[in-house]
Chain A
Amino acid sequence: MKGKRLLGIALAISSLSLLLVAAATAGPTAKRGGTIVLDMTTDVDYIDPQLSYYGETWKLEATTACKLMNWPDKEGAAGAVATPEVASGLPLVSKDGKTYTFTIKPGFKFSNGKAVTAQSFVDAVNRFANPKMQSTGVAFLDIIKGAQAAVDGKAGSVSGVKARGNKLTIQLTKASPDLLARLAMPFYQAIDPTLARQIDANGINQYASCGPYYFASRTPGRSITLKRNPHYKGGRTANADTIQVNIGNSVDVEFQNVEKGTSDYASGGIPATEWKNVVSKYGLNKKDGRVQVRPQLDIRYVAMNHSRPLFKNNPQLAKAVNWAVDRQAFSAQGGYLYGKRTGQILPPGMLGYKPAGIYPLKVTANTIKQARKLAEGNLRGGKAVLWSSNAGTAPLQAQLIQYNLKQIGIDAEIKLLPRAQQFTNAGNPQTASFDMTVERWGADYADPYDFMNILLDGKQVTQPQHNNYAYFNVAKYNKEMTAASLLTGPKRGVAYAALDGNMMRSNPPWAPLVNSNDRIFLSSRVGCVTINEITGTGPLLNVLCLK
């Protein structure tokens, strides 16, 4: 689940919200204080605000960051509108739509006591664009004037972002339909002047932040501790004194811990076969209930590496893989309420989603025949390296894909990696020694740009760190994606839907598998369960309280 797994479930989500329950905000029983404990199976990538691009980290950063625009700590539609946080109101937008002016609200302070100013946001953009930082997310800077020059190292700072007193102006190269949503990403959070000077591609592990909490310590591979920001006056809830993250337990131990109450939230998941049990034992989606399941804008897929010989200019084989993978069986590995099978790039609920029915969602003798026919003559030796996460059900899912590939004549060797290493190495051209990798992506916000352009635009593939794990770089699609990103209204949806269908039909970069749900298992100790899928999967940690 790399990447941004932020679930941008915006308004569109309400169409799928069969499972959604009524918003449950902190009730009168909310108790302040105490320590909330989370279990994660593997370490995060970074906790550095300009580097981290991993859902597990963003769950934490949702409590540590203060941003110009943010998602309210609310469930459902109310939480899906980017709302001014440090900005005193919606920005003034120039007539051509290219200049945004924000006014900074006074009173926000970093955990070291310094005030948040307009400059704090300018610092963030400059640090984000600094080529020495090697941030994976720089594609989100593309519309900001002067950002490209900074990313390329031709300018020391981003010319389009300026602070004057409490005013912040952002100039764009073109009118943007999604700037406000982008500004709600943790990359753009206000940063302290000390952090602004710390330029290190390996990330900073301790810094002052301006949200309700701050990172008090991190021991890589072991634990992360968040403490309440003593200077915070921003009005967001901060119930627990401390949020403690323990890293490295297997999913079965996480399950045992949460069941016993020695941990409160199995952030790394629980054994797939337990979901059915816990739902029947504790009920589903009850108010403050222990088991919560939400649909999310997410996809699990096999990325086929188009920079290596096996899939380079070999669309027939990529199609064969799409016919061969057993999406039903893949989904079965995840257990009860895992998600919905898919053969599309865009997830249901996303603008531009249009089922095209190109590939089978269920394997039959005929689909295997079809897969073999397509693969025949295009196997190029038939050897492949398949990367997968080493936690939970991922190794089983990898073996399933391996078996499906074997049926069409590809002999795949599985390499299991800790999750953060898997996507970091996969997104780095120097270390991407795989032919296929089982990946997961969650939208940062509900817009196809965040799926299609971020994951498949070929302009990124030579960058030192990116999210195009398929190394898919087709000039025609690159152009169409850029064009689609500039459209607004229904035209935007139509353009992205056409791209999705065309790519999958004639030159599939991936084998899409499942749109998975966010499944949450909590201990009996905690209440105040509020889930805003935009801010990251899981219950809002700043709201979560001990009963």
Chain B
Amino acid sequence: MSNLADSAEAAANGQAVILRGRAALPPEDAAVDDDLDVAAVEARGYWEGVWLRLKRDKLALAGGVFIVLLFITAFAGAPLASHFLGHGPNEPFLVSGGLDADQLPAGPWTHVGKLTENGELEQQLFVLGSDSTLARDEFLRLLYGAQVSLEVGVGATLLSLLLGSIAGAVAGFYRGWADTTISRLVDLTMAFPYLLFVITLAGTLGTRLNHVTFGFLGEGVVTLVLVFGLLGWFYSARVMRSVALSIREKEFVEAARMVGASNRRIIRSHVFPHLVGPLIVLATLNVAAFILAEAGLSFLGLGIQLPTASWGNLLADAPQYYTSRPLLMVWPGVALLLTTLAFNLLGDGLRDAFDPRGSR
């Protein structure tokens, strides 16, 4: 959970304090103070500026490229690889080759035999060897595990941002009772022992929701998206509220109001564009946090349902092969590390790009 808190809070702008207990907060609009001049810039120039700054940040770009490749690999590469290799990620290959002479999971680049309908053995390739003594394809499971990670990460981020930014923008822009209600609700949610709650909800809700896949998601993904999303919205609500608060006081908003623009129009044309930057930053960092949380829960056996592969449950099986197949420990760990690193680098880069004066 700490992961969630940390990255999300980093999203605010490096001053984690903003997302914390009320009294600990400096004035709540601190988050966007630095942004104000940018706000005056015309939209096109604004995006160009962001892009120019981002382009100079090689690490962030590398993170971005990695993420794009990861999406392609996970959603196009995994089914393709499965098609060309001739088997799925959940198929055990115990008949021939999946285990070596010592009954250990086969090492990388092993040819295994698949029993066909007419009883013949067909040779197929295990790129990274077997995942366990169940002799499933570690390579495919890693790829499909990426799918699950991204589904949970992106799904939970979208849900929490959607809830959070609506609540935050409404609170910040309209003030009054809406603000009071929403702020109190945020405080309430923040008083929950987040991870404990996630665990208990995943365990209880899970029994009802785990089969819901909408035909394409992994089993257990919906549960995690709901649990993370419903409990994670308040970070984005806080950020959005403070952004909205500061924007509503800006001259250009007042000017628009003076020429008779409606609230709706003001929000759409003047406020929303300025919410996009912080939103994107928050989203990027949140994905990383949710991916880590998914892996943690699956490691504990509460997240993704067996036999669906997830980096968390691959990691949970690996210690049994510590001494004989240490690489099984390495693959899912490194995959997780690189993925969260990529999202964090991109998120940091985006934050600096959106907020040039805050960057250092």
B34 at the interface (CB under 8 A from A): no
Pairwise interchain contact A252-B322, C-beta atoms closer than 8 A: yes
Q: Complex formed: what's the CA distance from A416 to B298 in Å?
A: 12
Q: Complex formed: what's the CA distance from A135 to B105 in Å?
A: 43
Chain B residues positioned under 8 Å from A364 (CB to CB): 115, 119
Pairwise interchain contact B134-A271, C-beta atoms closer than 8 A: no
Pairwise interchain contact B319-A403, C-beta atoms closer than 8 A: no
Q: Complex formed: what's the CA distance from A403 to B89 in Å?
A: 12
B199 at the interface (CB under 8 A from A): no
Q: Complex formed: what's the CA distance from A414 to B307 in Å?
A: 8
Residues of A in contact with B, size category: 20 to 34
Pairwise interchain contact A403-B119, C-beta atoms closer than 8 A: no
Pairwise interchain contact B103-A336, C-beta atoms closer than 8 A: yes
Pairwise interchain contact B324-A335, C-beta atoms closer than 8 A: no
Pairwise interchain contact A395-B306, C-beta atoms closer than 8 A: yes
Chain B residues positioned under 8 Å from A205 (CB to CB): none
Pairwise interchain contact B90-A403, C-beta atoms closer than 8 A: yes
Q: For chain A residues 223-255, which have a beta carbon within 8 Å of chain B?
A: 250-252
Chain A residues positioned under 8 Å from B307 (CB to CB): 399, 402-403, 414
Q: Complex formed: what's the CA distance from A333 to B132 in Å?
A: 9
Q: For chain B residues 61-115, which have a beta carbon within 8 Å of chain A?
A: 90-92, 94-95, 99, 102-105, 115
B48 at the interface (CB under 8 A from A): no
Interface string of B240-254 (1 = CB under 8 A from A): 000000000000000
Pairwise interchain contact B320-A413, C-beta atoms closer than 8 A: no
Chain B minimum-CB-distance residue to A392: B320
Interface string of A398-421 (1 = CB under 8 A from B): 111011000000000110100000
Chain A minimum-CB-distance residue to B325: A273
B310 to chain A, nearest CB (A): 13
Q: For chain A residues 362-411, which have a beta carbon within 8 Å of chain B?
A: 363-366, 390, 392-393, 395-396, 398-400, 402-403
- Residue from A276, A277, A329, A398 in contact with B92 in the complex, judged by beta carbons closer than 8 Å: A329
B54 to chain A, nearest CB (A): 44
B51 to chain A, nearest CB (A): 47
- Given known A273-B104, A393-B133, contact A416–B301 (CB-CB < 8 A): yes
Chain A residues positioned under 8 Å from B133 (CB to CB): 272-273, 332-333, 335, 393, 396
Pairwise interchain contact B91-A403, C-beta atoms closer than 8 A: yes
B117 at the interface (CB under 8 A from A): yes
Interface string of B181-218 (1 = CB under 8 A from A): 00000000000000000000000000000110000000
Q: Complex formed: what's the CA distance from A396 to B132 in Å?
A: 8
Number of interface residues of B (CB under 8 A): 33
Chain B residues positioned under 8 Å from A252 (CB to CB): 319-320, 322
Q: Complex formed: what's the CA distance from A349 to B143 in Å?
A: 47
Chain A minimum-CB-distance residue to B133: A333
Pairwise interchain contact A271-B321, C-beta atoms closer than 8 A: yes
Pairwise interchain contact B301-A396, C-beta atoms closer than 8 A: no
- Given known A252-B322, A399-B307, A403-B92, contact A276–B132 (CB-CB < 8 A): no
Pairwise interchain contact B320-A272, C-beta atoms closer than 8 A: yes
Interface string of B266-305 (1 = CB under 8 A from A): 0000000000000000000000000000000000010001
Interface string of A274-286 (1 = CB under 8 A from B): 1011000000000
Chain B residues positioned under 8 Å from A533 (CB to CB): none
- Given known A332-B99, A336-B103, contact A365–B118 (CB-CB < 8 A): yes
Q: Complex formed: what's the CA distance from A332 to B133 in Å?
A: 7
- Given known A250-B319, A365-B116, A398-B306, contact A328–B134 (CB-CB < 8 A): no
Chain A minimum-CB-distance residue to B95: A363
A326 at the interface (CB under 8 A from B): yes
Chain A residues positioned under 8 Å from B2 (CB to CB): none
A370 to chain B, nearest CB (A): 13
Chain B residues positioned under 8 Å from A396 (CB to CB): 132-134, 317
Chain B minimum-CB-distance residue to A403: B92
B121 to chain A, nearest CB (A): 10
- Residue from B115, B119, B210, B325 in contact with A413 in the complex, judged by beta carbons closer than 8 Å: B210
Chain A residues positioned under 8 Å from B102 (CB to CB): 273, 276
Chain A minimum-CB-distance residue to B93: A329
Chain A residues positioned under 8 Å from B320 (CB to CB): 251-252, 271-273, 392-393
Chain A residues positioned under 8 Å from B105 (CB to CB): 273
Q: Complex formed: what's the CA distance from A416 to B304 in Å?
A: 13
SS of B interface (majority):
loop
Pairwise interchain contact B103-A400, C-beta atoms closer than 8 A: no
Chain A residues positioned under 8 Å from B91 (CB to CB): 403
Chain B residues positioned under 8 Å from A416 (CB to CB): 301, 306
Pairwise interchain contact A413-B305, C-beta atoms closer than 8 A: yes
A240 to chain B, nearest CB (A): 29
Chain A residues positioned under 8 Å from B317 (CB to CB): 395-396
Pairwise interchain contact B306-A414, C-beta atoms closer than 8 A: yes
A408 to chain B, nearest CB (A): 15
Q: Complex formed: what's the CA distance from A390 to B321 in Å?
A: 17
Chain B residues positioned under 8 Å from A402 (CB to CB): 306-307
Chain B minimum-CB-distance residue to A326: B94
- Given known A252-B322, A329-B94, contact A390–B211 (CB-CB < 8 A): no
Chain A minimum-CB-distance residue to B101: A276
Chain B residues positioned under 8 Å from A336 (CB to CB): 103
Q: For chain A residues 478-493, which have a beta carbon within 8 Å of chain B?
A: none
Chain A minimum-CB-distance residue to B99: A332
Chain A residues positioned under 8 Å from B104 (CB to CB): 273, 276
Interface string of A291-315 (1 = CB under 8 A from B): 0000000000000000000000000
Pairwise interchain contact A400-B92, C-beta atoms closer than 8 A: yes
Q: Complex formed: what's the CA distance from A307 to B90 in Å?
A: 30
A91 to chain B, nearest CB (A): 49
Q: Complex formed: what's the CA distance from A393 to B210 in Å?
A: 23
Pairwise interchain contact A332-B103, C-beta atoms closer than 8 A: yes
Pairwise interchain contact B116-A328, C-beta atoms closer than 8 A: no
Q: Complex formed: what's the CA distance from A336 to B100 in Å?
A: 13
Pairwise interchain contact A390-B323, C-beta atoms closer than 8 A: no
Pairwise interchain contact B134-A333, C-beta atoms closer than 8 A: yes
Chain B residues positioned under 8 Å from A390 (CB to CB): 301
Q: Complex formed: what's the CA distance from A121 to B229 in Å?
A: 60
Q: Complex formed: what's the CA distance from A414 to B305 in Å?
A: 8
Chain B minimum-CB-distance residue to A383: B211
Chain A residues positioned under 8 Å from B322 (CB to CB): 252, 271
B98 to chain A, nearest CB (A): 9
Q: For chain B residues 304-356, which have a beta carbon within 8 Å of chain A?
A: 305-307, 317, 319-325
Chain B residues positioned under 8 Å from A414 (CB to CB): 305-307
Q: Complex formed: what's the CA distance from A396 to B105 in Å?
A: 13
Chain A residues positioned under 8 Å from B134 (CB to CB): 329, 333, 396, 399-400
Q: Complex formed: what's the CA distance from A395 to B305 in Å?
A: 11
Q: For chain A residues 251-269, which have a beta carbon within 8 Å of chain B?
A: 251-252
Q: Complex formed: what's the CA distance from A335 to B321 in Å?
A: 12
Interface residues of B (CB under 8 A from A): 90-92, 94-95, 99, 102-105, 115-119, 132-134, 210-211, 219, 301, 305-307, 317, 319-325
| Contact sample, A vs B, 9 pairs, CB 8 Å cutoff | A273-B102, A273-B325, A276-B103, A332-B99, A335-B133, A365-B117, A398-B306, A413-B219, A414-B305
Interface residues of A (CB under 8 A from B): 250-252, 271-274, 276-277, 326, 328-329, 332-333, 335-336, 363-366, 390, 392-393, 395-396, 398-400, 402-403, 413-414, 416
Instruction: Beyond the given A273-B105, A416-B301, please list 6 additional residue pairs across the A-B interface where CB-CB is below 8 A.
Output: A273-B320, A329-B134, A365-B117, A396-B133, A399-B90, A400-B134
The 3 closest A-B pairs by CB, nearest first: A271-B320, A365-B119, A329-B94
